[in-house]
Structure 1
Amino acid sequence: MINITAVIVAGLAGAAIFSMFTGMARSTGMTKMSIEKTMGAMFGEGTGATAAGWMMHFMMGVVFAVGYVVAFNVLGTTSGWLYGAVFGLAHGLIVGSMVLPMMGTVHPAIVAGKIEAPGFFAKNAGPMTPMGLIVGHVLFGTVIGGIYFLLA
């Protein structure tokens, strides 16, 4: 049985850690990508759009946490942090190799030329971004797995 409160807390915590990680990377010049601003740019420009991007990022954190926890249950694992890290690696590889390259054709702000397309593994956002993309998703999965099994 899935503990929905634990899933929500784990998803929000995973998204928060991911956001802190990418924020630190931006502040040190390792990347110029802002997931929240990129997501928000689908809705417009300015502070309101960025706020929408933040909300969308945290909602997606919870949605993906549900998927991770369903997979934990299907596999029958009690080692959430380890499986979470593995799922996070797979998640990052899928996002980097398939989702981000497609954004250039479907994201309205990218199509309009207002923001740059991230490209394959977000390489257009800086040379360290591909590694950060993978590490961020591994952290996300590790946090989801660890917190879910701590609370469930």
Structure 2
Amino acid sequence: MDWAGWSLFGLLATVGLTALMISAQLGGLSRLDLPLILGTVVTPDPDRARAAGFLIHLAVGQCFALGYAGCFVLLGQATWWIGGLLGALHGAVALTVILPMLVGVHPRMASHRAGPQSVAVLEPPGLIGLNYGAQTPLVTIAAHVAYGIALGALLEIS
């Protein structure tokens, strides 16, 4: 495995994924603000939260890139299409497991059961992130597929 490649390409793929998600938000395709959601775990200030959330997402992206690299090693090859399939799976898990799980652990995210006394500042994501817009699932899957394609195309197995 090209471990130097893993560290560099994992970082680049994560920056690309984050840029796609932010571009979709700025373009009105989704209201999912991943840096804000991740950053408000550690600070209530939205500006600081976005910066912290971006760094958190980079770190998490490196961990996922290591998982992709491990899959490529187990399969004995790294290709763009295997990366794309892993990205689709990754996006599906993000929408169906990780995002909904945040409601239970995020200190500033409301839940569907939150009543009028809730002081949460972030709305819950809803089923597959639909509370952040109807196109959020498609944007999320597409960004994760791009992430996987980048890793599959750039990583070398030796």
TM-score by length of 1: 0.91
Pairwise CA distance, 1:100: 1.2
Higher Rg of the two aligned structures: 2
**Are residues 1:137 and 2:144 paired?**
yes
Counting aligned pairs with the same residue, the percent is 28
| RMSD over equivalenced CA pairs, Å | 1.6
Q: 2:78 touches 2:155 (CA, 8 Å); kept in 1?
A: no
Measure how far apart 1:58 and its partner are.
Answer: 0.6
The answer for the alignment partner of 1:14 in structure 2 is 13
Pick from 108, 111, 120: which aligns with 1:113? 120
Deviation of residue 64 (structure 1)?
0.5
User: 2 CA distance for matches of 1:29 and 1:5?
Assistant: 36
**Partners of 2:33 and 2:4 in 1: how far apart?**
28
Is 2:77 aligned against 1:70?
Answer: no
Distance in 2 (alpha carbons) for counterparts of 1:58 and 1:22: 13
Give the match for residue 5 of structure 1. Answer: 4
Which residue number corresponds to residue 115 of structure 2? none
Count of residue correspondences: 149
Deviation at 1:3, TM superposition (A): 2.2
The reply on whether 1:60 has 2:67 as its aligned counterpart is: no
2: distance between equivalents of 1:14 and 1:78?
15
Partner amino acid, structure 2, of 1:43: V
1:103, distance to aligned residue in structure 2 (A): 1.5
Deviation at residue 110 of structure 1 after TM alignment: 0.4
TM-score by length of 2: 0.88
Structure 1 residues 66, 28: closer, same or farther in 2, change over 3 A? Answer: same
Deviations 1:92-133 (A, max 9, x none): 111111111122121111044110111222111011001111
Indicate the residue corresponding to 1:83 in structure 2: 82
Match of 2:134 in 1: 127
The question of whether the paired residues in 2 share the 8 Å contact of 1:10 and 1:145 is answered with no
Q: Residues 63-96 of structure 1, C-alpha deviation per residue, up to 9 Å, x if partnerless?
A: 11110011001011142x1111000011111111
Structure with the largest fraction of helix: 1
